[in-house]
Structure 1
């Protein structure tokens, strides 16, 4: 299936992220990258790819792996699972990459994992795929332990969204959600917590991506006289749905998922319609890495803001992969898989983002000493399924700007889930 034509900007992005084998030194190591550079989730993939590039730039400037550089071979998934699998298959079978960074959205990451990386025992690190299905696959013994992610599961984010909705006065909502694994899981977790907290859901309307119009879905969702719309979507489709909702007379109050934290969404809908829009995202525990990334990413990326969806945690994915390859000492998937938890393990010397910090890390690794990378999103600990826990950022849109208005700890979210006091 053909996707949209790739623009000159995307071609330029591919040129900067894809390694040219003829130019690479024989000792260089290539890491595969499968991200949605086009399609409904294109904004995520473009920010994510540039953030990984920045992490690899910093690592290579620090000396690389025994003087050898890490390169990326970046592929566009076009926001489609089937395309993502095709691209990942080429990277694994033909390019023989030991690691794939991606996908960004769960509907890419899940088929890549089940069809490509797990059977091939190739490491996969996703910066932004939050579906609980990925944890379930691990618990069922279907991942071969190769999957890691630098974002919290929707099993927690849906609950955080429910609590934030109630606290923000959104007590009677309609839901429109993307009809894929991400949307279904997010709505399930949200619905359970929202009802437990006293909220009322007037309707749930799934939608299929990339439609020209969503007027029918918006009209259907208005039944039951909701106070607000919980929109679980991506920036492009989400803007089309929000416009249909507003033009059909729906209340201009919104609850939004993490990926809707996007300036493109605001400009496409119109800032004046979104002053009562609230959202949740995986949050950060600020470290020196956070300050470094937020100070340098826009200049490196050519204008992409550090707040862009998936940007911060994509840098961390790239940094962790780079440091794990350094610890492994080679581009071997099994060795890299074993090294990933070790480079973030408690007890090691703290390492932060940037060339100088990676130079220190490489010296410690060479001396056989442990390190602990503390990322842009904060200290990272992977459990046996490659999952992390962390806080949730609470934000709202005001005057066209996305403003953080609070934070909810993972512990507070778990209390809602378990019913603990």
Structure 2
């Protein structure tokens, strides 16, 4: 008996050490449904790398109760039906606690309505800006589980309209992608632009991956506009812009946020884009912004200016810290997300050292406020954020900041239009 007790006593430290090692080797898998290929592939690749970087930083800071955050990434191919199949497997088979994605609204919407809402699994989109996502929340169709780290197109449309007027666009043709994002963006822009005194001479939808866009361009040019508002993605957008130029269209463009793309510029030719302007969901710089800008390209090989990159890092950071708060109970993730950005919490920024501080505060039961790459954000009851808008111009083939429109300025304009 004494020998048995002695053996157990002697073995106990090794058993405990073994248990700790196993705990340290455990993984918490988060599902990513990203547009890695297809028209939005450039965005999805940047988004996936950003989430991976955020998870790396949290893991380096100690992880979630000794476990590592890992991603199970699926390619939506920029198609809603493929995205639904991928999300269904992640939720029903892999039992992931959160889905991050999609990037574009035409992917995020079917995931939400067909998979995550009914399963009550939190979904965070880094870049889906359709107002329909807010409307579904108002109608009680999201179960309150949808969040996004980008402002709604209802706001971006107003910012773009004011920018267009300021830049002398008095008479515009609109060509837009024929999906929820494009229809809503064109609609919100038109409402604001006309209220500010502008005239829309034509509004032409197009379907993705057409072999030619000549008929859409011809329709857009019919009434001699003094510019084109192009709501598109880099691949199709470049084809449309080249067709517009080759058919003699005036070389003045207004572009949506997703057209802030080196691939678009290279494909069209910088020499044709000297009067090309655009709007993007902006940032309020924090130490997180500096950290991300300095380190992202080395980690990913992708320019940190990619429009999906910064807000995807924040989506990953918010999800990771929320999982640290909620533990392994996925029913508590929704409430934990609000706690990550508690206005009364200790400010936390991006990177290993800051996340280590956050994880310790969480263990101590103290509130935190993550102030991310895009700035301090708060989520309303529908998972929406508010924020400034960046006004940009293409100069010598490079996207350069031309100004900013604050949240209050956009809201004031909205109020004037009601």
TM-score with structure 2 setting the length? 0.94
Matched with 1:264 is 263
Matched with 1:306 is 304
Q: How many Å apart are 1:27 and its aligned residue? A: 3.2
Structure 2 distance, partners of 1:266, 1:24, is 48
Within 5 Å, give how 1:14-29 maps onto structure 2. Answer: 27-29=26-28
Q: How many Å apart are 1:219 and its aligned residue? A: 1.0
Matched with 1:378 is 375
Structure 2 distance, partners of 1:209, 1:309, is 20
SS at match of 2:112: helix
Within 5 Å, give how 1:169-208 maps onto structure 2. Answer: 169-208=168-207
Q: Is 2:389–2:404's contact at 8 Å kept on the other side of the alignment?
A: yes
Matched with 1:336 is 333
Matched with 1:150 is 149
Matched with 1:391 is 388
Matched with 1:159 is 158
- Deviation track 1:202-232 (CA, whole Å, cap 9, x = no partner) reads 1000000011211111111101110000000
5+ long unaligned stretches in structure 2: 1-21
- Deviation track 1:255-303 (CA, whole Å, cap 9, x = no partner) reads 00000000000000000000100000000000000000000000000x2
SS at match of 2:42: helix
5+ long unaligned stretches in structure 1: 1-22
Structure 1 distance, partners of 2:251, 2:23, is 53
Matched with 1:346 is 343
- Deviation track 1:238-259 (CA, whole Å, cap 9, x = no partner) reads 0000000000100000000000
Q: How many Å apart are 1:411 and its aligned residue? A: 1.1
Structure 2 distance, partners of 1:415, 1:58, is 39
SS at match of 1:369: coil
SS at match of 1:281: strand
Does 2:366 match 1:369? Answer: yes
Moved over 2 A (4+): 23-27
TM-score with structure 1 setting the length? 0.93
Q: How many Å apart are 1:24 and its aligned residue? A: 11
Bigger CA radius of gyration: 2
Within 5 Å, give how 1:41-52 maps onto structure 2. Answer: 41-52=40-51
Q: How many Å apart are 1:26 and its aligned residue? A: 6.6
Structure 2 distance, partners of 1:338, 1:345, is 11
SS at match of 2:56: helix
- Deviation track 1:119-168 (CA, whole Å, cap 9, x = no partner) reads 00000000000000000000000000110000000000001000000001
